[in-house]
Amino acid sequence: MKRKYRVVGALPVLGNAVGAVFEASLPKDQEALLLAGGHIERVVDAPKTKEKDK
Amino acid sequence: MKHVLTDAFVEVNGVNLSSHCSSVTIEDGAEEQDVTGFGSGYREVIPGLKTASISLNIFQDYDNGSVYQTLNPLYESGGTFGVKVRPDSAAKSGTNPEYQLTGRLFNRPALAGAVGEANTSEVTINNGGTAGLVVGTA
């Protein structure tokens, strides 16, 4: 399953520059190591707000 | 054309360590097995099991998301991880082959250097997969 990540460490990750947001389907072990090492963080899109009923 | 390494690409477990590497060496070779039989005037050797490794000389960096945070967990976990090396940082191609290895780290890359020197570590990543060293060009 593809997830969104942001590169937050000091070095590029998977071809993405520091600060960039990217989508990838990372193997569980690799994701855990990259998250724990401060290389990437998950990006969670804010839930869409419903329009108020008029 | 003869090649000079100035912009080699080194990626370990998805992290681009190129800016912190001062040298990279890829080794891939087979054991020689002697199969000489009686009556031969020459020794006959055939290739046996192969060994592959990628060695890096790295400048240590303990920042979040940098060298130490990349390599130390790989050593501690003992698990396998991907390594990619190219002669140039440009995309892989027939003239810029990418060497890929599923490796394991058997030494902790911690710290080395004398007073006033850069803190460097020699890191050797040994083959940990079944495919060995794979060369990709496309």
Cα B40–Cα B43–Cα B46 angle in degrees, nearest 5:
115
Interface check for B75 against chain A (CB to CB < 8 A): the answer is: no
User: What confidence score (pLDDT) does residue A54 get?
Assistant: 55
As a whole number of angstroms, the distance between CA A16 and CA A4 comes to 12
Contact A35, A43 (CB under 8 A): no
Q: Which residues of B touch A36 (CB under 8 A)?
A: 73
Q: Could you tell me the pLDDT band of residue A38, with boundaries at 50, 70 and 90?
A: very high
Residue B7: which residues within 8 A CB-CB, separation 6 or more?
A: B18, B88, B89
Strand blocks (E) in B1-138: 9-12, 15-16, 21-34, 45-59, 81-86, 98-105, 120-127, 134-136
Query: Is the CB of B23 inside 8 Å of chain A's CB atoms?
Result: no
Q: Is the pLDDT of residue A52 over 70?
A: no
The secondary element (H helix, E strand) that includes residue A49 is: none
> Does residue A53 surpass a pLDDT of 70?
no
DSSP one-letter string for B69-81 = HHHHHHHHH---E
Q: Side-chain half-sphere of B10: how many Cα atoms within 13 Å?
A: 24
Mean of pLDDT values over A26-40 = 94
Tell whether A40 lies on the interface with B, counting CB pairs under 8 A. yes
What pLDDT was estimated at residue A48? 75
Give me the pLDDT at residue A1, please. 84
Cβ–Cβ below 8 Å for A39 and B20: no
Q: In whole angstroms, how large is the CA radius of gyration of chain A? A: 14
* Record: contact A33-B20, CB cut-off 8 A: no
Strand B81-86 relative to strand B134-136, pairing: unpaired
Can you give the pLDDT of all 138 residues of chain B as single tens digits? 899 999 999 999 999 999 999 999 999 999 999 999 999 999 999 999 999 999 999 999 999 999 999 999 999 999 999 999 999 999 999 999 999 999 999 999 889 999 999 999 999 999 999 999 999 988
Please give the ipTM for the structure prediction.
Answer: 0.85
| A43 close to B (CB below 8 A) | no
Residue B38's CB is within 10 A of a number of other CB atoms, namely 4
Helix, strand, or coil here: A32?
Answer: helix
Q: How far is A31 from chain B (nearest CA, A)?
A: 10
